[in-house]
Amino acid sequence: MMAMYKRTYRTFSADETTDLGRHIARMLKPGDVLALYGDLAAGKTTLTRGLAEEFQANQPATSPTFTLINEYPGILTLYHFDCYRIKDAREILYLGFEEYLDMGGIVVVEWPQKIETFLPEDTIRIRLIRSESREDVREITIESPEERHVNFGC
The reply to whether 141 falls in a domain is: no
Query: Which domain CATH number covers 41?
Result: 3.40.50.300
Asked if 81 contacts 92 with a C-beta cutoff of 8 angstroms, the reply is yes
pLDDT of residue 152: 65
Could you read off the pLDDT of 39-88 as tens digits, one per residue?
988 999 999 999 999 999 988 888 776 778 999 999 999 999 999 989 99
Using pLDDT thresholds of 50, 70 and 90, give the confidence band for residue 116: very high
The reply to whether 137 falls in a domain is: no
Q: What is the Cα–Cα distance from 45 to 51, expressed in whole angstroms?
A: 10
Could you read off the pLDDT of 22-33 as tens digits, one per residue?
999 999 999 999
Total domains in the chain come to: 1
pLDDT of residue 70: 92
The reply to whether 19 falls in a domain is: no
Instruction: Give the start-end residues of each E strand in 19-58.
Output: 33-37
The reply to whether 122 falls in a domain is: yes
The reply to whether 56 falls in a domain is: yes
- The percentage of the chain sitting over the pLDDT mark of 90, rounded to a whole number, equals 71
What phi and psi, each to the nearest 5 degrees, are found at residue 15? -60, -40
- CA 154 to the chain's CA centroid: 17
Name the more confident of 148 and 69. 69
Look over the chain and give the mean of its residue pLDDT values, rounded to a whole number: 91
Q: Which domain holds residue 70?
A: 30-130
pTM: 0.92
The reply to whether 125 falls in a domain is: yes
The reply to whether 17 falls in a domain is: no
The reply to whether 10 falls in a domain is: no
